[in-house]
Amino acid sequence: MTKVNYENFIDLNYTPKNTDVICQFKITPAKGYDFREVCSITAGESSVGTWTDISTVNKKMQKKIAPKVYYLDKGNLRCRIAYPIELFELGNLSGVLSSIGGNIYGMNSVNGLLWEDIKIPEKMLKSFRGPKFGIPGIRKYLKVYDRPLVGTIVKPKVGLTCDIVKDDENLTSQSFNNFYKRITLTLEAMRKAEKETGEKKAYLANCTAPVDEMIKRIKFVEKNNGNYIMLDILTLGWSALQKAREVTNVPIHAHRAGHAMFDRTPNHGMKMEVIAQFARMVGVDSLHIGTAYGKMAGGKDEVMHIEKEMEGKFTKQTKENLSQRWFGIKPVFGAASGGVYPGITDKIIEFMGKDVILQAGGGIHGHPDGTIAGAKAMRQAVNAVLKGIPLKEYAKTNLELKKSIEKWG
């Protein structure tokens, strides 16, 4: 079979412009293909290249907007490609992904293609809204400035001492749990908890639905004095998320349900770091990023890098990652979730710092004395860490934490 003919997009002397969109890929060539060749094919197929010469192509324009493979690391199968910003429609993330993350994944020249990182230029970043509230806005609303936030998931009871309660990612509007009834009842419980504790609370209502219905649900939450919404951003879709950011007046919590379809395979797909950067650019205010200690996959290095991208103003370039400057776009709260319980709170805070949402489901609801005791145990664990007291020592005078540690460690 004759191989496709691509213009050579490799220029190792090229210095990327400040306006270029830079992507880092790990590329495993298919049998019969050379690494350098496949990097060139990847650049071409994700932009202006095609499988044969075409007489109608404007060669001058093609050369002007052609991407450049400017960095090759054959030992690690890694390359970096600089795409001129003119290739993309600004403010349209679906369009960007259709180019960079489109046909190249189906090419027979690759056995594996992993999109590892992206450097987004200022012009593209500012064509999106970014977070409306971010970490500063959420802390200001809840009046919690010096500790991690504690959250749980909607179950039959609501923990009074949690800052945040959220819907499960698969809880939308089933026959046994109507969205509108659930919102009404849970917001009533939230206001009751606020009255009893004297603390501000937030309820993250899952508004994931077809776009028109999603907007209807968002507006229902706001009309009933709800203060936070949640969206399953990957199953919902990027364009729908952009629309949600456009219409909502409350913070958006992003659940990453489905992310492992993209990032679980080590040599193919899209790393969570890239998904997280897009989420911040579009405008979520908090995002599940993993824990490195719970039940979900994702190592410490990965979680740490994601957190830096979500919170930082600037991340430096390394051999493994690209740099990124955020040009004033607000930082996003990372949510540690999946197997979180009081006994690992000290490890999570030591690793992730205070700007984290400790999102515990079973770790609260599974407490021997029930949900409220579980929520108290989580808050007690946070207090212990902030005071510098070992959890087991603090548990001696805090019964809820003591029983939690006895059950889970």
Catalytic residue among 68, 201, 253, 255: 255
| Catalytic position from the list 126, 132, 155, 200 | 155
Report how far residue 362's alpha carbon sits from residue 342's, in angstroms, rounded to the nearest whole number: 11
> Is residue 287 a contact partner of residue 230, using CB atoms and an 8 Å limit?
no
CA 144 – CA 250 distance, rounded (Å)? 17
**Residue 326 to residues 122, 130, 315, Cα–Cα distance (Å):** 7, 10, 9
- Residue 98 CA: distances (Å) to CA of 43, 156, 236, 266, 312: 14, 42, 16, 22, 28
255 carries an active-site annotation: yes
Q: How many Å is the Cα radius of gyration of the chain?
A: 23
Provide the strand spans (E) within 338-401.
Answer: 356-359
Among residues 26, 106, 104, 107, the alpha carbon closest in space to that of 71 is found at 26
Residues linked to residue 21 through DSSP beta bridges, in sequence order = 83
- DSSP assignment of 235-250 equals HH-HHHHHHHHHH-SS
User: 3-state DSSP helix/strand/coil percent for the chain, to nearest 5?
Assistant: 40, 20, 40
Show which residues are catalytic. 155, 255
